[in-house]
Structure 1
Amino acid sequence: MTETMAPELTPWALASIAGGLFAVDPSGCGGVAVRAHAGPVRDRWLEQLRQLLPDKAPMRRLPLHIADGRLLGGLDLAATLKAGKPIAERGLLAECDGGVAVMAMAERLTSSTAGRVAAVMDAHEVVLERDGLGMRVPTRFGVVALDEGMSEEEQVPDVLMDRLAFHMDLIPIAVRDMDEPLWTSEDVGRAREFLPNVEVSDNILEALCGTARALGIASLRVPFLALRAARAAAALDGRDQVSEEDAALAARLVLAPRATMLPPSEDDMPEEQEPPPPEEPPEEEQNQEDQEDQDPAELDKPLEDRVLEAAKASLPAGLLAQLQAGLGARSRSSAAGKAGALQQGNRRGRPIGTRRGELRAGARLNVIETLRAAAPWQPLRRAQALADGSSTKSLRVHVRRDDFRITRFKQRTETTTIFAVDASGSAALHRLAEAKGAVELLLADCYIRRDRVGLIAFRGTEADLLLPPTRSLVRAKRSLAGLPGGGGTPLASAIDAVRELAESVKRRGETPVAVFLTDGRANIARDGSQGRTKATEDALGAAKELAAEQFKIILVDTSPRPQRSAQELAMAMQAQYLPLPHADAATLSSAVQTASS
Structure 2
Amino acid sequence: MSVSDAVSTPWRRASLAAAVFAVDPLGSGLLIRSGAGPARDALMARIAEELAPMRLSRAPADIADDRLIGGLDVAATLRAGKPIAETGVLAAAHGGVIAMAMAERISTGVAARLAAALDTGEVALQRDGLSAILPAHVGVIAMDEGQDDEAPPAALSERLGFWVNLEQVGWRDVEPPALTPEDFAAARKLLPQVQTDDKAIETLVAIAAQFGVDSPRAVLFALRAARALAALRGETKVEPEDIELAAALTLGPRATRLPAPPEEQESEDEPPPPPPEDEPPPDEPPEQKGEDNTPRELEDQILEAVRAALPPGLLAALAGGAPRNRRSSAKDGKSGEEIYSMQRGRPLDARPGSLSKGRLALVATLRAAAPWRKLRLKPEEADSRRVIVKPEDFRIRRHRQKKGATTIFVVDASGSLAMTRLAEVKGAIEMLLADCYARRDEVALVAFRGRTGEIVLPPTRSTARARRALSGLPGGGGTPIAAGLDVALAVADQCRRKGQTPMIVLMTDGRANICRDGGSGRPRALEDALDAAKRIAAAQVAALAIDTAQVGGGGPDAPTRALAGAMFGRYVKLPRADAAVINAVVRNALPQ
> Please, what TM-score do these two structures have when normalized by structure 2?
0.90
Q: Are 1:578 and 2:572 counterparts?
A: yes
Distance change >3 Å, CA 236–CA 312, structure 1 → 2:
same
Deviations 1:156-201 (A, max 9, x none): 1111000001001122222222222232222222222222222221
Look up the match of 1:222. Answer: 218
Alignment map for 1:366-515 (pairs within 5 Å): 366-383=361-378, 386=381, 394-515=384-505
- Unaligned 5+ residue runs, structure 2? 272-289
2:6–2:12 contact (8 Å) kept in structure 1: no
Look up the match of 2:97. Answer: 100
The separation in 2 between residues aligned to 1:500 and 1:20, in whole angstroms, is 58
Alignment map for 1:99-178 (pairs within 5 Å): 99-149=96-146, 151-178=147-174
1:198–1:240 contact (8 Å) kept in structure 2: yes
1:356–1:405 contact (8 Å) kept in structure 2: yes
1:346 positional shift: 0.9
The separation in 2 between residues aligned to 1:522 and 1:258, in whole angstroms, is 47
1:272 positional shift: 9.0
Deviations 1:224-248 (A, max 9, x none): 1111111111122232222211111
Paired residue for 1:249, among 233, 245, 249?
245
Look up the match of 2:514. Answer: 524
Deviations 1:4-47 (A, max 9, x none): 5536633222222111211111124x100012222322222112
The separation in 2 between residues aligned to 1:566 and 1:417, in whole angstroms, is 19
Deviations 1:529-570 (A, max 9, x none): 322222223322322331232222121222224442222322
Distance change >3 Å, CA 272–CA 202, structure 1 → 2:
closer
Give the 3-state SS of the residue equivalent to 2:26 in structure 1. helix
The separation in 2 between residues aligned to 1:165 and 1:270, in whole angstroms, is 32
1:456–1:466 contact (8 Å) kept in structure 2: yes
Alignment map for 1:45-444 (pairs within 5 Å): 45-55=43-53, 57-149=54-146, 151-267=147-263, 301-331=296-326, 333=328, 338-360=334-356, 363-383=358-378, 386=381, 394-444=384-434
The separation in 2 between residues aligned to 1:339 and 1:367, in whole angstroms, is 32
The separation in 2 between residues aligned to 1:270 and 1:418, in whole angstroms, is 52
- Unaligned 5+ residue runs, structure 1? 276-294
State the one-letter code of the partner of 1:107.
Answer: E
2:449–2:478 contact (8 Å) kept in structure 1: yes
Give the 3-state SS of the residue equivalent to 1:520 in structure 2. coil
Deviations 1:102-129 (A, max 9, x none): 1121111111111111012112111111
1:259–1:328 contact (8 Å) kept in structure 2: no
The separation in 1 between residues aligned to 2:520 and 2:531, in whole angstroms, is 17
Give the 3-state SS of the residue equivalent to 2:407 in structure 1. strand
Alignment root-mean-square deviation, CA? 2.6
State the one-letter code of the partner of 1:502.
Answer: A
Give the 3-state SS of the residue equivalent to 2:474 in structure 1. coil
The separation in 2 between residues aligned to 1:271 and 1:395, in whole angstroms, is 83
State the one-letter code of the partner of 1:117.
Answer: L
Between the two proteins, what is the percent identity of the paired residues?
A: 49
Distance change >3 Å, CA 8–CA 160, structure 1 → 2:
closer
Look up the match of 2:279. Answer: none
1:350–1:409 contact (8 Å) kept in structure 2: yes
Deviations 1:193-214 (A, max 9, x none): 2222222211111111111111
Q: Are 1:9 and 2:8 counterparts?
A: yes
Alignment map for 1:27-46 (pairs within 5 Å): 27-28=26-27, 30-46=28-44
1:137 positional shift: 0.9
Distance change >3 Å, CA 333–CA 133, structure 1 → 2:
closer
The separation in 2 between residues aligned to 1:487 and 1:384, in whole angstroms, is 89
1:17–1:182 contact (8 Å) kept in structure 2: no
Distance change >3 Å, CA 249–CA 596, structure 1 → 2:
same
The separation in 1 between residues aligned to 2:135 and 2:268, in whole angstroms, is 58
Look up the match of 2:278. Answer: none
2:56–2:97 contact (8 Å) kept in structure 1: yes
Look up the match of 2:588. Answer: 594
The separation in 2 between residues aligned to 1:153 and 1:407, in whole angstroms, is 31
Look up the match of 1:20. Answer: 19
Distance change >3 Å, CA 4–CA 537, structure 1 → 2:
same
Q: Are 1:543 and 2:537 counterparts?
A: no
The separation in 1 between residues aligned to 2:571 and 2:185, in whole angstroms, is 57
1:446 positional shift: 3.2
Give the 3-state SS of the residue equivalent to 2:260 in structure 1. coil
1:7–1:314 contact (8 Å) kept in structure 2: no
1:451–1:471 contact (8 Å) kept in structure 2: yes
2:199–2:295 contact (8 Å) kept in structure 1: no
2:7–2:308 contact (8 Å) kept in structure 1: no
State the one-letter code of the partner of 1:42.
Answer: R
The separation in 2 between residues aligned to 1:3 and 1:367, in whole angstroms, is 61
1:296 positional shift: 9.4
1:421 positional shift: 0.6
Distance change >3 Å, CA 114–CA 385, structure 1 → 2:
farther
1:134 positional shift: 1.0
2:411–2:448 contact (8 Å) kept in structure 1: yes
Distance change >3 Å, CA 367–CA 587, structure 1 → 2:
same
1:336–1:593 contact (8 Å) kept in structure 2: no
The size of the alignment, in residue pairs, is: 568
1:385 positional shift: 7.1
2:317–2:324 contact (8 Å) kept in structure 1: yes
Deviations 1:329-378 (A, max 9, x none): 224658988311111111011112211223346x3332221221111111
Distance change >3 Å, CA 94–CA 64, structure 1 → 2:
same
2:352–2:395 contact (8 Å) kept in structure 1: yes
1:441 positional shift: 3.1
1:32–1:144 contact (8 Å) kept in structure 2: yes
The separation in 2 between residues aligned to 1:272 and 1:204, in whole angstroms, is 22
The separation in 1 between residues aligned to 2:471 and 2:7, in whole angstroms, is 57
> Please, what TM-score do these two structures have when normalized by structure 1?
0.89
1:5–1:245 contact (8 Å) kept in structure 2: no
The separation in 1 between residues aligned to 2:192 and 2:426, in whole angstroms, is 66
Deviations 1:496-543 (A, max 9, x none): 222222122112211101111111222223333322222223322322
2:81–2:385 contact (8 Å) kept in structure 1: no
1:343–1:411 contact (8 Å) kept in structure 2: yes
Distance change >3 Å, CA 350–CA 324, structure 1 → 2:
same
The separation in 1 between residues aligned to 2:468 and 2:35, in whole angstroms, is 42
The separation in 2 between residues aligned to 1:548 and 1:305, in whole angstroms, is 55
Relative to structure 2, which stretch is displaced further, 45-54 or 134-143? 45-54
Deviations 1:306-328 (A, max 9, x none): 21111011110111111122112
Distance change >3 Å, CA 133–CA 322, structure 1 → 2:
same
